[in-house]
């Protein structure tokens, strides 16, 4: 910028009073096949952005964001699961060398080394060459870490039954069923079923709700003894009299719920 005597300013400001010239750069000033950012290149970027946005909105409309039931620390048997981009860390902590007494390795050393070297990559990979084959160590390390992260994520995700999970954790508006905890059947329920089906029979991650089922006492007794679906046989360990009390109790709660 010019400085010194003879400069004119706008009023008492520091803005230089100059002849107005808002004519953009001439196209001939762009050598070769370069082009102006505005409007030529930005238009292309925004076209790409529009296509991206359409795809994004289709995703949003096709898959409403999930919402599980309201947080309840006493939910029986809930298996915690982080968002997908934390799964690899979560899975890493399941390995023996990264948990228990070696947990420091799993939560500090391994992630610290990985993310630390990512942060400091320009100072670890200092050679002048930019092409991947000119820096084999950096590129190999990156590919190995990527493969490890992908594999850990896959390992973690493949153990999850996503459908059943979403089904079991649907937000259910709280059912206003008075549960008669003085019923002898409730005591039997407490001893045999509560750890999975929950204090108020509303189910949890490990088992469905027992309210709103359309089963007879005999069918319930059969399931209690022999299991069904993912419920193993032999969960019920009481006498026949207790079984009778239990089924009557569950049927009565369901009758109550239908009112």
Partner 1 sequence: MFQKLYDWIDERIDITPIWRDIADHEVPEHVNPAHHFSAFVYCFGGLTFFVVVIQILSGMFLTMYYVPDIENAWKSVYYLQTQVAHGQIVRGMHHWGASVVIVMLLLHTLRVFFQGAYKKPRELNWIVGVLIFFIMIGLGFTGYLLPWDNKAYFATEVGLNIAGQVPLIGDWLKVLLAGDAQIVGAQTLTRFFAIHVFFLPGALFALLAVHFILIRRQGISGPL
Partner 2 sequence: MSDEKQQVTRRQFLNYTLTGVGGFMAAGLLISPLRMAIDPVLQPSKKGDLANVGLAVDDIKDVPTRVDWKIDQVDAWYESEVSQTAWVYKNEKDEIVALSPICTHLGCTVSWEGNDQFPNEFYCPCHGGRYTKDGTNIPGTPPLEPLHQYEQKVKDGMLYLGNPHPRGEA
Whether the Cβ atoms of residue 197 and residue 203 lie closer than 8 Å to each other: yes
In the block, tokens 């952005």 appear at 49
Q: Under 8 Å CB-to-CB from 112, ≥6 apart: which residues?
A: none
Q: Which of residues 123-152 bind partner 2 (CB under 8 A)?
A: none
Binding to partner 1 by residue 20, rule CB under 8 A? yes
- Residue 195: how many other CB atoms lie within 10 Å: 15
Distance between CA atoms of residues 174 and 113, nearest Å:
47
Residue 64 partner contact from partner 1, partner 2, none using kind-dependent CB cut-offs of 5 to 8 Å: partner 1
Shortest Å distance, C-beta 3 to partner 1: 15
- In the complex, the smallest distance separating the C-beta of residue 212 from partner 1, rounded to whole angstroms, is 19
Q: Which residues contact 186 (CB under 8 A, 6 or more apart)?
A: 179, 180, 249
Q: Is 196 in the site for partner 2 (CB under 8 A)?
A: yes
169 near partner 2, rule: CB under 8 A: no
Q: Which two tokens stand for residue 26?
A: 């001439």
Q: Scanning residues 38 to 57, which ones bind partner 1 (CB under 8 A)?
A: 38-41, 44-45, 48-49, 52-53, 56-57
- Nearest Cα residue to 235 out of 221, 215, 249, 255: 221
Task: Find the shortest distance in angstroms from Cβ 247 to partner 2.
Answer: 21
Least Cβ distance, residue 77 to partner 1 (angstroms): 11
- At which residue do the structure tokens 């930005």 appear? 42
* Coil, strand or helix at 62: helix
Under the binding rule (CB under 8 A), the answer on residue 96 touching partner 2 is yes
**Per CB under 8 A, 19 contacts partner 1:** no
Q: What single string gives the DSSP state of each residue in 158-188?
A: HT--HHHHHHHT---PPP-----TTSHHHHH
Nearer to partner 1, 100 or 234 (CB): 100
Identify the bridge partners of residue 9 per DSSP, sorted by sequence position: 16
Binding map of partner 1 across residues 136-175, x = CB under 8 A, - = no contact: --xx--x---x----------------------x-x----
The entry of partner 1, partner 2, none near residue 112 (CB within 5 to 8 angstroms by kind) is none
Residue 195 contact among partner 1, partner 2, none, beta carbon within 5 to 8 Å by kind: partner 2
Structure token pair of residue 102? 């070696």
Residues that bind partner 2 (CB under 8 A): 73-74, 76-80, 94, 96, 99-100, 190-191, 195-196, 199, 206, 232, 234, 237
């Amino acid at each position: 910028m010019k400085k010194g005597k003879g400069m004119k300013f706008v009023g008492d400001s520091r803005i230089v009073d100059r002849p107005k010239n808002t004519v953009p750069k001439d196209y001939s000033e762009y050598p070769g096949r370069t082009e102006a950012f505005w409007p030529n290149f930005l238009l292309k970027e925004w076209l790409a952005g529009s296509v991206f946005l359409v795809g994004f909105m289709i995703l949003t409309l096709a898959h409403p964001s999930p919402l599980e039931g309201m947080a309840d620390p006493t939910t029986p048997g809930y298996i915690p699961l982080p968002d997908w981009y934390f799964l690899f860390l979560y899975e890493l902590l399941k390995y023996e060398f990264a948990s228990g007494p070696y947990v420091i390795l799993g939560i500090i050393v391994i992630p610290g080394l990985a993310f630390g070297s990512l942060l400091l990559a320009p100072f670890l990979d200092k050679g002048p060459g930019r092409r991947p084959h000119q820096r084999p160590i950096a590129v190999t390390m990156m590919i190995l870490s990527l493969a490890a992260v992908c594999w850990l994520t896959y390992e973690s995700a493949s153990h999850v039954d996503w459908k059943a999970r979403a089904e079991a954790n649907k937000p259910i508006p709280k059912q206003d069923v008075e549960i008669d905890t003085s019923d002898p059947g409730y005591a039997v329920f407490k001893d045999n079923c509560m750890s999975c089906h929950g204090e108020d029979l509303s189910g949890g991650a490990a088992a469905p709700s027992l309210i709103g089922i359309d089963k007879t006492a005999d069918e319930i007794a059969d399931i209690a003894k022999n299991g069904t679906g993912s419920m193993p046989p032999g969960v019920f360990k009481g006498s026949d009299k207790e079984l009778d009390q239990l089924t009557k109790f569950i049927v009565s709660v369901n009758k109550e719920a239908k009112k």
